[in-house]
Chains A and B, each alone.
Chain A
Amino acid sequence: MEKDIEIIKQTGEDLVEFSSEDLIALYNNINDFIAYLDSSVVVDDKNGEDEDE
């Protein structure tokens, strides 16, 4: 399988230059993103079913 998602390492060094307003907005965006990630976790139940067949 082709591993096609490139993880960009973000150190957040530039965050100190952000305004508080932007930081608060970004904080909320990241929280939403983490919620999205949690909901995107795949639970493999198909494999087990196939084995039974």
Chain B
Amino acid sequence: MNKYIEIMESYKDQLDHLPLNVKDGTKKMKEDFHLNAINYKNDTIKTLKKDYSALLDKIKDILLDRKKLLTPSKSSLDYDHLELDDEEIINVLTLENKYVTWMDKLGLKKLLSKFNTGVEIRLNEINDSIKEIISILKSAGVVVTTEDFKYSSYAHQYMSAYFGNNPSEEELKSSFESIYWECPDLITHLKLNFMTIINDHEKELNAYIPVLLEELKKKIGIGEKETKLFYLEKLQSRQRELDEDVYLVASKFLTNEAQPEDYVLSSIVRDNIFNKYITGESFSNLSDDDKNNFYDKIEELSHIIVELDNYNFFKKFINDVKKRMEQNVKGEPTKDKIKVVEKERVNVVSKLFPQKTLFGTKEASKDENLFVLENTTIKNIDVLYDELKNDLINSSISKNLNEFSSILDALMVCVGNYDYFIKLFDILKKDDETLDIEIVYSKLQHFVFNPYNEFVDNVCIKDKYDAEAVVCKKYSLLGFNLTKEDLTENMETTKHNIEFIKTCLCFELLSLNFEDFVTINKIDKLGFEA
């Protein structure tokens, strides 16, 4: 390279010292000399510029070729599909779980929650839920018709339109609107109507659960294996796939999310991160066995950090369960109250439908007072059902949990009853308005059924514990330097460091060089247009 630089320096020197004027001679001679000298200098510059621009192009081509060779090609893994697999396994775990109520196993409470009037209601969502509930009932062998929707005259009117001659979305909307102006509580009527149908067919729906479970297990290919173990193996093999995907492992260096200079062996940043978790010696002095052991601990720690993050996110759920355990409320007193009011409703509503008597069919009453009474009774029942939900939550807690129950058992109760989840979600929402119920429920499901859970599975809900201190103690016993601060105020740094160490390990296993990515970055900084 020096040869090229020397030549350029020589050109510079010659151009700088090229005489443009002459002292001796006539004015004409001086002017001619000046003009010729300028032309000569400019021509020389033009020639040099052309030559060196061609050299630049040549270097650019060589560097772009090298970048292409060094850049890993895009991954062919289908990540969306991998996520879908997760959802299906979680569905199986839900169906198998003893803490999940039968209605929740079929997703019915979640569907019915769409009818809750406290939240923003969209008619198409209501209609989708209706469609889905009817489909679940049908799968369980329960075929519903307009006749099943006589909980109220308004519910009957809407469902008659629904079951009518294949109505369009617009037709349903207009039917809904015309009823809504007469009875704004139509959605509550529909919800209670569906609840009644569901409860009336508890036996058939319960019998459908094992059928559904087997279908799902067959579809995913779980076979005789324990689902939790199947899930763990699936997660482990997926992690291996991800770790072996060169593009994925290196992508953070291609998008400038991370600087490869920090990762090279001679980097002080790298030394500091590795040595932080070693007690005594530096990482480079460890034996191969100790290094492998260190990497295993880092892998475990990455799972514990996910667990701690989730634990802290759902801490208020655990506290609510604890509070209810202390209150120790038993029984479901509201059930009897509902029975009484339901009788009143049947009495009123029956008059609003044509009735068969010994003397023929008695026409439906058009007494406006009866319609008002019908709605008031149903509104009272709805309030009682809300109280019943609370009774059922408390009775599920007192039935399922005791002083030996783990934190995970408590969280299972939360995930196993969507009505309870809604109440708990409202507590979280007070602190963060932006939370989305679907996302938080999915997060809770993924947390509760995560086969890597360790701490929440082993600590009793009644114990007095400090989660971060428990984890630190375990790691210090294993000769790992981890402080409580690393898991609290410095948690983000710890996550970064773990990711850093895992990337180094992946590079080692894949025989990749950080130096190559340093080169790619430097080529990128030259700003070539590909």
> Which of A's residues lie within 8 Å of B, judged by CB?
1, 3-5, 7-10, 12, 15-16, 18, 20-31, 33-34, 36-38, 40-42, 44, 46-47, 50
Contacts and interface: CB of A to CB of B under 8 A. Distances in A.
A42 B38 contact: yes
Interface of B: 1, 4-5, 7-8, 11-12, 14-16, 18, 20, 27, 31, 33-38, 40-42, 44-45, 47-49, 51-56, 58-60, 62-63, 66, 519, 522-523, 526
B20 A10 contact: no
B56 A34 contact: yes
Given A1-B40, A4-B14, A37-B48, A23 B55 contact: no
A29 B8 contact: yes
Nearest to A1: B36
A47 to B, nearest CB: 6
A44 B35 CA distance: 8
B56 to A, nearest CB: 5
Contacts of A44: 34-35, 38
4 tightest A-B contacts by CB? A12-B58, A22-B1, A33-B8, A20-B519
Nearest to B9: A33
A12 B60 CA distance: 12
Contacts of B11: 5, 33
A42 B39 CA distance: 8
A26 B49 contact: no
Contact of A23 (B12, B16, B33, B59): B59
Nearest to A27: B59
Given A3-B40, A4-B14, A5-B11, A10 B45 contact: no
A17 B55 CA distance: 14
Contacts of B58: 12, 15
Contacts, number: 103
A28 to B, nearest CB: 8
Given A1-B37, A18-B1, A23-B63, A12 B15 contact: no
Q: Which of B8, B12, B14, B20 has the most CB of A within 10 A?
A: B8
A5 B1 contact: no
A41 to B, nearest CB: 6
B1 A25 contact: yes
Given A5-B15, A10-B7, A47-B31, A42 B47 contact: no
B34 A46 contact: yes
5 contacts: A1-B40, A5-B44, A12-B55, A24-B523, A44-B38
Contacts of B60: 27
A20 B59 contact: no
Contacts of A24: 63, 522-523, 526
B9 to A, nearest CB: 9
Contact of B49 (A8, A10, A21, A34): A34
A31 B526 CA distance: 11
A5 B31 contact: no
Nearest to B22: A1
Q: Which of A10, A16, A18 has the most CB of B within 10 A?
A: A10
B34 A47 contact: yes
Nearest to B16: A40
Nearest to B12: A36
Contacts of A26: 1, 4-5, 59
Contact of A42 (B31, B42, B49): B42
Contacts of B45: 37, 40-41
A37 B49 CA distance: 7
Q: Which of A8, A23, A38 has the most CB of B within 10 A?
A: A23
A44 B403 CA distance: 97
Contact of B523 (A9, A20, A30): A20
Contacts of B47: 7
A42 B59 CA distance: 29
Nearest to B32: A1
A10 B55 contact: yes
Given A5-B14, A30-B56, A20 B4 contact: no
A48 B56 CA distance: 37
A35 to B, nearest CB: 10
A31 B4 CA distance: 13
A20 B41 CA distance: 33
A35 B254 CA distance: 30
